[in-house]
Structure 1
């Protein structure tokens, strides 16, 4: 592929491994508030859209959804720092992209401050020019707004960017925004789950393969 001017990354499941953290927190909140059991797949199926919206996967009651969100955030804060880690090869990939003059940003459905804190814990926050969080944009994935806003911050046309993500919502948002998309399979969702919703421009199964596709290996 022609080398992109910029690469935008999703956060959870793409840059940082939070799968067990999210699963543990969802299970705690749904047990505490609803006194119900859900399968792992049910708990994780909404990962990639704003957290407040995910709560409606478990209840139709706005009061219960609000309480789920409150309990989730309170519990998550107590275990977050010890359960988050950067995926293998990501620091090296980001350094290679930076050295190649490719501009970098994060576009996530997580709140800005929580995402920024996680990136700092993982030692990769300084690689990015900005974070676009769920509270930075009125539109959310799978709509294109957050990705388009990232391109706007960089002052580039969407055709000059690649969006890297591990969820169907990432690929749908990227395609709708007109950027090239790189689907990664080391996160929460399998290749089959992503492809059933939207086929990305490229696939990568580890950071080294992503580096080759992005032209920096």
Structure 2
């Protein structure tokens, strides 16, 4: 994403921090692996089976990035437990056939590893489902730390998940970067004081993921090494968002 003119004053501090990052953290769904089709299929199946109605896709996806049960409480509080059960059953059955790795994910992680960056995952998924997604594509080997919804007491958009992952990697949140595709990811990163990077290739439209005001935005995970090399003006989010 290109910014016009020179970097704004607001972008100077994040740009300077890029040279002193202690760790790089990633969301999972919509950032490392493409599970949008599976998530939509699972939501459609659960809402049809439990609620007896079809909801618009934008309604089904609007709270992705939060823990599933919290999403269902917002959707239909009285049926949240049953929605969760039916969703998980469908999701588990179809997971491996419907999930894909985003192009460039493995090669980018290899490059970051080669450069000596310490890497972590921060997701609102449960630990077993998180591990399944990572292991399906052999990505777990890149990450020293994986923080799931089972590891925290407050969930994105709260800063706790990002802060805990940074702490486990031995770096301050202010010396970390978080890459994610949802507004909740960006809000969590910003609240934690991390460098926030919007993944525009994920499940959310650009205007949604940019709404919290992240520091940078990338069209592809392949752009991340260039950002780390200091090509800041090409990826700084302009005032217009």
1:44 and 2:83 equivalent?
no
Q: Take 1:67 and 1:160, find their aligned partners in 2: how far apart are those partners?
A: 41
Alignment-derived partner of residue 32 in structure 1: 49
Q: 41, 58, 62: which one pairs with 2:75?
A: 58
Q: Is the 8 A contact 2:145 2:169 kept in 1?
A: no
Q: Take 2:224 and 2:119, find their aligned partners in 1: how far apart are those partners?
A: 14
Alignment-derived partner of residue 144 in structure 1: 159
Alignment-derived partner of residue 224 in structure 2: 210
SS at match of 2:202: coil
Alignment-derived partner of residue 32 in structure 2: 15
Alignment-derived partner of residue 119 in structure 2: 104
**Rg bigger for which structure?**
2
Alignment-derived partner of residue 166 in structure 1: 181
Alignment-derived partner of residue 186 in structure 1: 201
Indicate the RMSD between aligned Cα atoms, in angstroms.
1.3
Q: Take 1:93 and 1:83, find their aligned partners in 2: how far apart are those partners?
A: 22
Q: Take 2:213 and 2:175, find their aligned partners in 1: how far apart are those partners?
A: 19
How do 1:126-145 residues align onto structure 2 when only pairs under 5 Å count? 126-145=141-160
Q: Take 2:52 and 2:172, find their aligned partners in 1: how far apart are those partners?
A: 48
Q: Is the 8 A contact 1:96 1:216 kept in 2?
A: no
TM-score (norm 1): 0.95
TM-score (norm 2): 0.86
Please list every run of 5 or more consecutive structure 1 residues that lacks an aligned counterpart in the other structure: none
Q: Is the 8 A contact 2:181 2:199 kept in 1?
A: yes
Q: Take 1:23 and 1:215, find their aligned partners in 2: how far apart are those partners?
A: 36
CA deviations on 1:122-169 (whole Å, 9 max, x unpaired) are 121100012100011111000000000001101111121100000000
SS at match of 1:49: coil
Q: Take 2:81 and 2:92, find their aligned partners in 1: how far apart are those partners?
A: 17
Aligned pair count reads 214
Q: 82, 87, 90: which one pairs with 2:105?
A: 90
Q: Take 1:127 and 1:174, find their aligned partners in 2: how far apart are those partners?
A: 21
Give 1:216 shift: 9.2
Q: Is the 8 A contact 2:28 2:122 kept in 1?
A: yes
Q: Take 2:94 and 2:118, find their aligned partners in 1: how far apart are those partners?
A: 32
Q: Is the 8 A contact 2:33 2:100 kept in 1?
A: yes
> Where does structure 1 differ by over 4 angstroms across 4 or more consecutive aligned residues?
none
Q: Take 1:171 and 1:5, find their aligned partners in 2: how far apart are those partners?
A: 19
